[in-house]
Amino acid sequence: MTAAPSPSCDRVVELTTDQLRARLPEALRIYVTAMGYPPVTAQQRAPMWSAHMLRAGWRCIGAFNEDDELTGIGYGYLGAPGQWWHEQVRRGLQDTGGDPDAWLEDYFELTELHVHPSAQGAGLGEEILRRLLDGAPGDKVLLSTPEGPTRAWKLYQRVGFEDVLRNYSFTGDPRPFAVLGRPLPLNA
């Protein structure tokens, strides 16, 4: 059962690559605002997000308010060797004595999940997460999130994600991150 849309959300729908491309500047503004990154980060990330849309198993969910403005975004795809995030996590697991093969086989990488701060706290992130993972390919899902007691962290714990790698520093971001994972389907 999915949570009802928040009062600041009129609809939550699956987006095609063309639909996300048309809304990419809007989606990236939500990303930089929610993550606290400088606005210039959106320009740096646009080519990466566009390249992600071409990956196997890519799917995207968008949330819109009554004015048809994007208020939340989530997407992911099948993780695979050679992808930047996959290789970073593999290295982190190897460095800490973890078993990369236990997690990095047949997984859906939840790459981005962001809700504009003005729409947070009413279940919208969970609705996007559940819709994104409903029918997602792979037998497990992995994600990374900044360490700390955030709303995102609490959401992932609430829906059963477990620690895979903690206090990891990804190249290009000085903050410590946690890599979390769980089996799919979400409601199993």
Domain assignment of residue 69, yes or no: yes
Domain assignment of residue 3, yes or no: no
Domain membership of residue 76 as a residue range: 11-183
- Counted domains in the chain: 1
Q: Pairing between strand 140-146 and 107-115?
A: parallel
pLDDT of residue 4: 40
Choosing from 31, 75, 107, 156, the catalytic residue is 156
* Residue ranges with strand state E in 22-126: 59-64, 70-78, 107-115
Contact predicate 30/84, CB 8 Å = no
Domain assignment of residue 6, yes or no: no
Task: Tokens 């477990």: give the residue.
Answer: 162
Taking phi over 0 as left and psi of -120 to 50 as alpha, with beta for the rest, 16 belongs to beta
pLDDT in tens, 164-186: 999 999 988 888 999 999 999 98
Specify the DSSP element, H or E, that contains 134.
Answer: none
Question: pLDDT band at 48, cuts 50/70/90?
Answer: very high
CATH number of the domain where residue 24 is located: 3.40.630.30
- pLDDT(17) > 90: yes
Domain assignment of residue 5, yes or no: no
Question: pLDDT band at 187, cuts 50/70/90?
Answer: confident
Domain assignment of residue 4, yes or no: no
- pLDDT(3) > 60: no
User: In this structure, what DSSP letter does residue 185 have?
Assistant: S
- Residue 77 CA to residue 85 CA, distance in Å, equals 12
> Could you give the percent of the chain with pLDDT greater than 70?
95
Reference 150, options 111, 180, 108; nearest CA is 180
Q: Which amino acid, residue 33? A: T
Domain assignment of residue 91, yes or no: yes
Domain assignment of residue 165, yes or no: yes
The verdict on whether 31 is a catalytic residue reads: no
Domain assignment of residue 59, yes or no: yes
Contact predicate 26/81, CB 8 Å = no
pLDDT of residue 110: 98
